[in-house]
Amino acid sequence: MAPLFFSQTIPWKATQSIQWSHFRERGDLRQAAQSAVGMKGRSGKLASGRYFITVDAFFDPTRSYVHPKAKSSALLSHEQGHFDLAEVYARKIKKAALQRLRSLEDLKKGFKPLFDAYYAQYLKEQEKYDTKTRKGTHPSFQKAYELWIEKELMQLQHFKSTTP
């Protein structure tokens, strides 16, 4: 793997998990870890006249922290779950956009409101994930959520990112 510079975001990939080396250590954190994950979306018209929609999940190591004494495989799996949830919602946004926005005019008027609406749902899901799993400290709820995320990713695999 190429060296990671803290100015880079990491795009979600099924073949690559986040590692503790992607986090900055902070001994003053009030929680064990904090992952900065999110989504970015773009849409527009290509020179060919066709329109495009991209929605990508990312992890930002410049804003992700871990308490040095809190590192564990269970906590890292929980933080990966946050990243995976971002990918689930990136795929949901892309699916909804492709189904609802049928013309360039639809795209111009409708992409941002659609993205914002799904992003609000995504933020609520992230909160629910932390609450239900007790931030990864409840193993059975953590496993159940991981299975749900895996199922969602499989069901939405047609809408996965095409970012290399």
Q: Phi and psi (nearest 5°) for 126?
A: -65, -45
State pLDDT tens for residues 104-158. Answer: 888 889 999 999 999 999 999 999 999 999 999 999 999 999 999 999 999 999 9
pLDDT at residue 89 above 60? yes
pLDDT at residue 77 above 90? yes
Q: Is residue 4 part of a domain?
A: no
pLDDT at residue 164 above 70? no
Q: Is residue 58 part of a domain?
A: yes
Q: Is residue 164 part of a domain?
A: no
Q: Is residue 145 part of a domain?
A: yes
- Cross-strand bridge partners of residue 66: 25, 33
Residue range 65-92: mean pLDDT, rounded: 97
Task: Report the predicted TM-score, pTM, of the whole model to 2 decimal places.
Answer: 0.90
Domain residues for 41?
10-159
Q: Is residue 28 part of a domain?
A: yes
pLDDT at residue 24 above 50? yes
Element (H, E) at 124: helix 104-133
Q: Is residue 105 part of a domain?
A: yes
Q: Is residue 155 part of a domain?
A: yes
Total count of domains within the chain: 1
Q: Is residue 5 part of a domain?
A: no
